[in-house]
Amino acid sequence: MSLDADLLQTLLTEAIGAGDYADAFFERKVTRSFRFQEGRIHEAGVSVTLGIGIRVLRGEQAGYAYSDDLSPEALRKTARIASLIARNGGGGAHAVALPRQPLAAASVYTSDSAELRPGSGTYVDLLSRADAAARAFDPRIASVNAFISDELQEVAVATSEGRYVTDCRPLVTLGVQCVARGLVRGNGYVGDGGRTSLDYYLKRTPEDLAQEAARIACINAEAVEAPAGEMAVVVGSGGGGVLLHEAVGHGLEGDFNRQGTSLYSGRIGERVASELVTIYDDGDLVGERGSVAIDDEGTPGQHKVLVEHGVLQGYMQDHLNASLMGMASTGSGRRQSFRVAPQPRMCNTYMPAGESTVEEIIGSVQRGIYAKSFAGGQVDITKGDFVFMVAEGYLIEEGKVTAPIRGATLVGNGPDIMTRVVAVGNDPHLANRHYTCGKGGQYVPVGVGMPTVKIAGVTVGGSAVG
């Protein structure tokens, strides 16, 4: 998708005024979705997002305006509103020059569907197969919901520095949620997909996902109440990566560090975690949900070392915060849509392999819990306090995984917990691709990953005291 370079050039020239920088973000996103519920295709949806956002930066100040009306008159008005913040004071007009044609970003997506053609028939078939497989898994399965979403987002970014680039990002997601009847009603959810085509579901079949969701629902239907109090926690490989995302990742986003409101502000080069802890954030992993060939400011997605052997190495930066801190953007400027300005965000956050085997890790715990996967989490960036909701969890008693538990949350403090990582497994995995991260009201797809990790002493919130 390309726009008229002359028009963009005019808009940016009008917008920048006495500012330091201006950019325009064009987006056209079409999402097609189907939802399966109670044994039938319940509804279909098409969502279209089309518009341009224009931003002007001046020092720490940001002006922003957007328009879904793409006429030159409406866009010029949008540029003028965005520039209000840079109207006063000195500084001359900048002449903005853009290349005549945009540069297409090198893809980090696998986007061609050879066999499973996008279209209503394919979506309906995949969902029906998921439903049948979940119901066939166990007679205790009482209800099955499933959805599929197939999205294509075309973006173009033009900046006052002469950058003009485009990207075309696919994103597919298939999710299955089951409720099983047992001792209690148990819930199980599994979703997977990525920045890839529907052909992904030839190998990762709807049956796989449905059976996994049904299995978790059946386990949770027989789960006992989670214990409460401080104990050792073994975090499962893959989905355990939510822990990195919440406990450390958000605190390393550039905006909080530039403003000095993160507990990691000014601490590059310092020891912030156990020496077993290394954390990366990659924007360029092929097909992963959080990957971006270019971010929403046109900077290529890239590999970033956040923490290495416990020492803080760097932050995730967008243009604004990087320039104010005298650093380079790390391709982390992302946004939910053209209606909002970009923020520094995570892409795919993960920990590489350690040396312990899973058996050694579980075997070393006398009493604790095994948090195999999380339903989500939240963090207070300033203080570092976090909470994680366990989706699939078990008791560990005398070195063995025993009864499933329900309703467990882990609560603690990010920097504190990272110093208590006492073992890292040799089984790193990226989690199923279904995570979405919210920050300041903006939601973007992300990836997480981790090996099995043991943390000595985490507060587990449950209702069974003792």
Partner 1 sequence: MGEAEDIALAASAVQLAVEAGAHEAEATYVVAERFATEARDREIAKLEQSTARTLTLRVFVDHAKSTLTTSDFSPEGLRAFVGEVVDAARYVTPDPLAGLPDEAAPPDAARADRLEIYFGDVRERDAQAKIDDARLMEADIRAYDARITNSSGSRVSDTLATLALANSRGFRGAFRSSTVARSSSPVAQDGVSKRVGSYGSASRSYAALEPAAQVARAAARRAIEMCGARKPATMRVPVIFERDVAAMVLSDIFASLNAGNVAVGNSFLIDKIGAKIGSDLVTIVDDGRLPQGLGTSPFDAEGTPTRRTVVFEEGVLKTYLYDTYYARKLGARTTANAAGGGIGPNNFFLAPGDLTLEELIAATPRGVLVLDTIGFSTESVTGTYSRGARGIMIENGERAYPIEEFTIAGNLATMLAAVDAVADDLHFDSTVASPSFRVAEMTVSGN
Interacting positions 52-111 with partner 1 (CB under 8 A): 59-70, 78, 81, 84-85
Neighbours of 112 (CB within 10 A): 9
Under 8 Å between Cβ of 95 and 82 = no
CA neighbor of 55 nearest in space, from 361, 342, 273, 285? 342
Q: Which is nearer to partner 1, 188 or 451 (CB)?
A: 188
Q: In this structure, what token pair is assigned to residue 191?
A: 């979703």
Instruction: Tell me the site size for partner 1, rule CB under 8 A.
Output: 85
Residue 99 carries which DSSP code?
A: -
Distance in angstroms (rounded) separating the CA atoms of residues 415 and 421: 11
**Contact region for partner 1 (CB under 8 A) — 6-14, 283-291, 302-310, 384-392?**
384-392
Residue numbers 338-357 binding partner 1 by CB under 8 A:
339, 341
Under 8 Å between Cβ of 109 and 42 = no
Interface pick for partner 1 out of 4, 45, 106, 328 (rule CB under 8 A): 45
Q: Which is nearer to partner 1, 114 or 465 (CB)?
A: 465
Q: In this structure, what token pair is assigned to residue 405?
A: 């538990």
Least distance (Å) from partner 1 to the CB of residue 96?
A: 21
**Contact region for partner 1 (CB under 8 A) — 132-140, 178-186, 295-303, 343-351?**
178-186
Phi, psi of 84 (to 5 degrees): -55, -35
Tell me, residue by residue from 127 to 156, as one string, x for binding to partner 1 by CB under 8 A and - for no binding: ---------------xx-x-----------
Q: Let me know how many helices (H) and strands (E) the chain has, helices first.
A: 10, 26
Q: Which is nearer to partner 1, 228 or 268 (CB)?
A: 228
Q: Which is nearer to partner 1, 144 or 361 (CB)?
A: 144
Least distance (Å) from partner 1 to the CB of residue 257?
A: 12
CA neighbor of 209 nearest in space, from 152, 144, 150? 144
**Contact region for partner 1 (CB under 8 A) — 93-101, 307-315, 409-417, 421-429?**
409-417
Interface pick for partner 1 out of 323, 413, 436, 442 (rule CB under 8 A): 413
Residue numbers 5-44 binding partner 1 by CB under 8 A:
28, 32, 34, 37-38, 40-44
Residue numbers 425-464 binding partner 1 by CB under 8 A:
459-464
Distance in angstroms (rounded) separating the CA atoms of residues 15 and 52: 13
Q: Which is nearer to partner 1, 27 or 192 (CB)?
A: 27
CA neighbor of 198 nearest in space, from 283, 135, 124? 124
Tell me, residue by residue from 260 to 289, as one string, x for binding to partner 1 by CB under 8 A and - for no binding: xx-x--------------------------
Half-sphere exposure of 183 toward its Cβ, with a 13 Å CA cutoff?
11
Residue numbers 188-247 binding partner 1 by CB under 8 A:
226, 228-230
Alpha helices in 245-372 (DSSP H): 254-258, 319-324, 358-363
Residue written as token pair 């148990």: 186
Least distance (Å) from partner 1 to the CB of residue 179?
A: 5
